[in-house]
């Protein structure tokens, strides 16, 4: 079945540590996205990428970094500069080649907590 796989499901970060969240998709989608979701709040865009080796900052990129070396993969690193990383992180993808206005499809998220 095609879909988006996020791992791990739960992740704990120590002070001063960088952690990397994995996102892999086998939908052959061009664009990939990372969102942060805090309790009772909507989705806030961290980074997005429409093509391999290119990505753009979203609304809350500070303290995060990404790479897009393969079409299928878009890992997110939460750096030690992100002082409040506890949140639910969602990865999404979207097809750009099948017409405009396509909806995003989501993975099942990674819950990150501070130790």
Judged by CB under 8 A, the residue of 40, 79, 97, 98 near another protein is: 40
Separation CA 47–CA 34 (nearest Å): 5
Query: In the complex with another protein, which residue's Cβ is closer, 65 or 88?
Result: 88
Looking at beta carbons only, is 6 or 82 nearer to another protein? Answer: 6
Q: How near is the Cβ of 2 to another protein at its closest, in Å?
A: 14
- DSSP characters for 62-101? TTEEE--SBTTB--EEE-TT-S---EEEEEEEE-SSS-TT
Asked if 46 touches another protein (CB under 8 A), the answer is no
Tell me which H or E stretch contains 104. Answer: none
Contact between residue 11 and residue 5 where contact means Cβ atoms under 8 Å apart:
no
Q: Which residues of the chain form contacts with another protein (CB under 8 A)?
A: 4, 6, 31, 40-43, 45, 48, 50, 88, 90, 92, 94, 96, 100-109, 111
């Amino acid at each position: 079945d095609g879909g988006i796989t996020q791992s791990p499901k739960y992740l704990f970060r120590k002070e001063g540590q960088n952690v990397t969240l994995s996102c892999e998709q086998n939908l052959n989608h061009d664009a990939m996205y990372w969102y942060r979701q805090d309790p009772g709040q909507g989705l806030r865009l961290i980074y997005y990428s429409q093509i391999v080796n290119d990505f753009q900052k979203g609304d809350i990129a500070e303290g995060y970094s990404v790479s897009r070396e393969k079409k299928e993969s878009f890992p997110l690193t939460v750096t030690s500069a992100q002082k409040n990383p506890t949140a639910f992180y969602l990865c999404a993808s979207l097809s750009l080649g099948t017409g405009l206005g396509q909806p995003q499809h989501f993975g099942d998220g990674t819950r990150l907590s501070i130790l």
